Amino acid sequence: MKVLDNVNHAVKVTMNCCRLYGLFVSDDLTKRQLIIMRAFSLMLYLFFVGFFITTQSALIITMWGDLNLMTNVGLVLGTHLTLSAKVFTLHYKEKEITNVIYKNEVRLRAETREQGKYIISEMNRETTLFMRLFIPFGMGTVTAWLLCTPKGELYTPAWYPCNTTKSPAHEIILAHQGIAVILTATLEIAIVLLMTSIVAVCRCRLKLVGLSFETICDDLPSNIMNKLTADEQVIVAKRVRENVIEHQAVLECINDIQDCFSSAMLVHIAISTMIICATAYQLAVEKSLDLTQRMTMASFLGGMSTEIFLFCYQGGHLSIDSMEVATAVYSCPWYTFPTSLKRSLLVIMIRAQQPALLTAGGFAPLLLDTFVSIMKASYSFFTVLQNASE
């Protein structure tokens, strides 16, 4: 398979990473190759993710009532469930997501203005920075997790129909778990960064729309009457129409993102809230953890919180950038326009004042305020668990 290219470096890296797991398969594959890739993706999921969901669910059922064990197993089980929700989303909404990425790619590559190129480079820098910070942080947590596991124990507790302390079962299970932890963590990081980077590119397109309105008359000669000539009115009317079409196209892409990611985000936020709570509970209550294990758990807690923050950060700034289009429209020399164009601009401003919102299942908007609320809810659940253990 050829390497996919993209203007946004984070989208390029994460999409190609997802393809290694059988997602975003190339259109140039034959029917037989496509079936093989789909089968490979399914087997990979069942062998590493589905297997853990089954064995960890069985352990929770058999050990029901042991709060410490249930929270310990639940935080790993929760990560597999959130990953499953995102994998199913990318699989069943693959065409829609690919279409959004393609539309964004075409628009950004068509940009020729220096100011526009600067906006694109700044957004590329932001998403690349998030990627460079999040990948080492996530993989560092996984590495610490594997290294700090006490000798003779499994990396993650799960139910097996055999004695996991005897050789060679212990070594086989340990190897399987180690590979599974690394692969699932890599895929989780790639999907989170891909989803947030797609939202960031839509933000970039909104900024370009705002730039188009702000500079709509920059290349037209000014006159002492501050009025457009008949020819200039035709030019400006055409540009306004083009900007409106582009603005509507961006909003349609945002709606497509909402349709694709909404359900997965609801599962992600709901389970992540419980995972953060369970991790905090383990740190506060479990006395057998040494310093290295506590640091690893704290890093895991930070990683889960960072994932939610990235979604809420991009969603919040998407809302702000969508409303700033109205400010950009007002910044253009509208006072030189005829009445018909002024009315058109007024309609655009009214539409832009309605923020473009991404939500988790239509319930919680992805905003920074929501992130704060999630942290508060996690702390509340943690307090309940702590009181129950006492």
Two tokens, residue 330: 């007002």
d(CA 104, CA 206): 11
* CA separation for the pair 369, 27 (Å, rounded): 40
Strands, DSSP E only, in the chain?
359-360, 364-365
Q: Which of 386, 170, 200, 173 is nearest to 311 (CA)?
A: 200
Residue 334 exposure: Cα atoms within 13 Å on the Cβ side: 20
Q: Say if CB 295 and CB 350 are below 8 A apart.
A: no
Chain centre distance of CA 385? 29
Q: Which residue has the tokens 């705002």?
A: 210
Single pTM value for the model: 0.91
- For residue 49, the 8-state DSSP code is I
Which of 281, 80, 301 lies closest to 177, judged by CA?
Answer: 80
Query: Cα Rg for the chain, rounded, in angstroms?
Result: 25
CA distance 76 to 154: 13
For residue 317, count CB atoms less than 10 angstroms from its CB and return exposed for 0-12, middle for 13-18, buried for 19 or more: middle
End-to-end CA distance of the chain: 56
DSSP-derived letter for residue 229 is -
Task: Encode the chain (390 residues) as per-residue pLDDT tens digits.
Answer: 577 889 999 999 999 999 888 888 766 777 888 888 888 888 989 888 888 899 888 888 887 877 677 777 777 888 899 999 999 999 999 999 999 999 999 999 999 999 999 999 999 999 999 999 999 888 888 888 788 877 778 888 888 888 888 888 888 988 888 898 899 999 999 999 999 999 999 999 999 999 999 999 888 776 545 677 888 889 999 999 999 999 999 999 999 999 999 999 999 998 888 888 877 877 777 766 677 777 777 888 888 889 999 999 999 999 999 999 999 999 988 888 888 889 989 999 998 989 999 999 888 899 999 999 888 888 887 787 677 665
- Output the furthest CA–CA distance in the chain (Å, rounded): 91
CB-CB contact of 192 with 90 (8 Å): no
116 to each of 110, 126, 188, 207, how far by Cα in Å?
A: 10, 16, 32, 8
Taking a C-beta distance cutoff of 8 angstroms, is the pair 131, 193 a contact? yes
Residue 59, token pair as written in the block: 């352990």
Buried b (16+ CB within 10 A) or exposed e, 272-303: bbbbbbbbbbbbebeeeeeeebeebbebbbbb
